Amino acid sequence: MTARRPSSPRDPEEEEGEPRRSADPLQRFPAMFALRASARRSADAGRRLLRNAQGVRGIRIGNTEVPDDKKLTYSLQQIKGIGRSTARQILCELQIENKPTRELSGIELESLRNEVLSYDIGHNLDKENASCIKRLVDIQSYRGIRHVDGLPCRGQRTRTNGRTRKDRGTPLSAFKMTTSRR
């Protein structure tokens, strides 16, 4: 006779021939909950949102949620003010290898947070840029005047291009009509 394998622990309510029940009623009674495809997709999306809300999906570094499934160089680039070269520089200074963010130890994570805070990032970067532009406007330099007028200030031509900084409400044909009648 062959030796019997020990059975796995079972629910006392589970019968011998009956399969294990899932907690999701959509899987237990599929005919009863026959949903349209769109309703099924929205139910799946709601279930995914609930699953994401239960578990933390990223790590917070420098007031930014950094994804934990990407490698560190790409994760750090999610922080405003840190690009490719800065991310590599941070990792070289800390002597941390480029691995997925979720594999960081607590000590590595703390040292990474402290190093990132030494750079101008996020809101501090926005405040610094705004103060630089305000200084240019206050001293009434050429660049400051161009900022006030909403025109490009780095020497680009504005006769044909420059729609990004110009008023978009007036089409180019309206300018042509008024200038041709003179």
- Comparing CA positions, the residue from 76, 82, 109, 77 lying closest to residue 94 is 109
Give mean pLDDT, residues 100-126. 90
d(CA 177, CA 66): 52
Residue pLDDT, tens place only, 71-94: 999 999 999 999 999 999 999 999
- Comparing CA positions, the residue from 64, 76, 63 lying closest to residue 108 is 76
d(CA 101, CA 36): 39
Residue pLDDT, tens place only, 135-151: 999 999 999 999 998 88
pTM of the model: 0.55
d(CA 10, CA 7): 8
Residue 17 binned pLDDT confidence (cut-offs 50, 70, 90): low
User: Token match 């680039």: residue?
Assistant: 77
